């Protein structure tokens, strides 16, 4: 009996998250509301609120769980090529619907809702940052980077232009732009002989 109840609860949770994403795609995050999500998912609004105390947290879970991106960083021995591959995969993902507009909406909501900001950081930003810094640490140990280079600063320099272009100017982030950012960053990170 308990297994069937748990399965039904998981099915409801998945249906609610799918409904939230569908409605966000159709009318945008700003018009998303719990009542519409509940109606689309075929559940009561209290069922939604028991799982998520806010629209923002529902949206966060829906975006990061239902369509969780895989943005792993390879280790081919060439840190620039590896980062390029990972960043271009992220750029391609954000360049296709529904990811780009929905991710912009999520980052926007995080500016107003501390719980969404904390969740986004904990579940997406920090893990991606840790993967990138770990790859930079390997490159540093292999002598591909200057031994005294601040890897946290490198990560900030790497992500800053990409987020600025994607979120602020909302211009397309192209593979060529990624190459230019990597070239500029690694010009300052390479060992000096």
For residue 101, the domain's CATH number is 1.10.357.10
Residue 88 is predicted with a pLDDT of 93
What does the pLDDT average to over 57-69?
A: 79
Residue 68 above 60 pLDDT?
no
| CA–CA dist 178, 192 (Å, integer) | 24
Band (20; pLDDT cuts 50, 70, 90): very high
| CA–CA dist 192, 129 (Å, integer) | 26
H or E segment at 154? helix 151-163
Residue 38 is predicted with a pLDDT of 96
Q: What residue numbers bound the domain in which 44 lies?
A: 2-60
Please count the structural domains in the chain: 2
Band (69; pLDDT cuts 50, 70, 90): low
Residue 67 above 60 pLDDT?
no
CA torsion sign for 43, 45, 51, 57 is positive
Please check whether residue 157 lies inside any domain of the structure. Answer: yes
109 and 183 both lie in a single domain: yes
pLDDT, tens digit, for every residue of 132-191? 999 999 999 999 988 888 999 989 989 999 999 999 999 989 999 999 999 988 886 666
51 and 102 both lie in a single domain: no
User: Considering the chain, what percentage of its residues have pLDDT values greater than 70?
Assistant: 92
Please check whether residue 70 lies inside any domain of the structure. Answer: no
Three-class SS state of 44: coil
**For the chain, what is the radius of gyration of the CA atoms?**
20
Chain-centroid distance, C-alpha 26: 21
4/182: higher pLDDT:
182
51 and 108 both lie in a single domain: no
| Count of helix runs (H) and strand runs (E) in the chain | 10, 0
What does the pLDDT average to over 75-95?
A: 91
Q: Which residues contact 185 (CB under 8 A, 6 or more apart)?
A: 154, 157, 158
Residue 116 above 90 pLDDT?
yes
Please check whether residue 43 lies inside any domain of the structure. Answer: yes
129 and 39 both lie in a single domain: no
Band (118; pLDDT cuts 50, 70, 90): very high
Residue 10 is predicted with a pLDDT of 81
What does the pLDDT average to over 101-105?
A: 89
Q: Report how far apart, in Å, the C-alpha atoms of 134 and of each of 74, 86, 128, 170 are.
A: 11, 13, 10, 29
Please check whether residue 34 lies inside any domain of the structure. Answer: yes
Burial state string for 16-30 with b = 16 or more CB within 10 A and e = fewer than 16: bbbbbbbbbeeeebe
Residue 59 is predicted with a pLDDT of 92
The model scores a pTM over 0.85: no
| CA–CA dist 71, 172 (Å, integer) | 19
Residue 191 is predicted with a pLDDT of 67
Please check whether residue 74 lies inside any domain of the structure. Answer: no
């Amino acid at each position: 009996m308990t297994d069937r109840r748990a399965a039904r609860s998981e099915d409801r949770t998945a249906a609610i998250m799918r409904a939230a994403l569908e409605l966000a795609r159709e009318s945008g995050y700003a018009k998303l509301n719990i009542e519409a999500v509940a109606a689309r998912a075929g559940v009561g609004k209290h069922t939604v609120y028991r799982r998520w105390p806010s629209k923002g947290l529902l949206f966060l879970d829906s975006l990061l769980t239902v369509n969780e991106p895989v943005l792993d960083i390879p280790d081919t021995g060439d840190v620039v090529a590896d980062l390029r591959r990972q960043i271009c995969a992220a750029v391609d993902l954000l360049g296709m619907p529904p990811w780009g507009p929905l991710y912009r909406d999520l980052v926007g909501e995080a500016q107003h809702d501390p719980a969404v900001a904390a969740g986004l950081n904990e579940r997406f930003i920090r893990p991606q940052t840790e993967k990138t810094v770990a790859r930079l640490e390997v490159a540093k140990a292999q002598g591909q980077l200057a031994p005294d280079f601040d890897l946290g600063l490198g990560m900030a320099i790497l992500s800053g232009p990409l987020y600025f272009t994607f979120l602020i100017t909302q211009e397309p982030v192209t593979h060529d732009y990624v190459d230019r950012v990597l070239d500029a960053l690694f010009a300052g990170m390479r060992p000096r002989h």
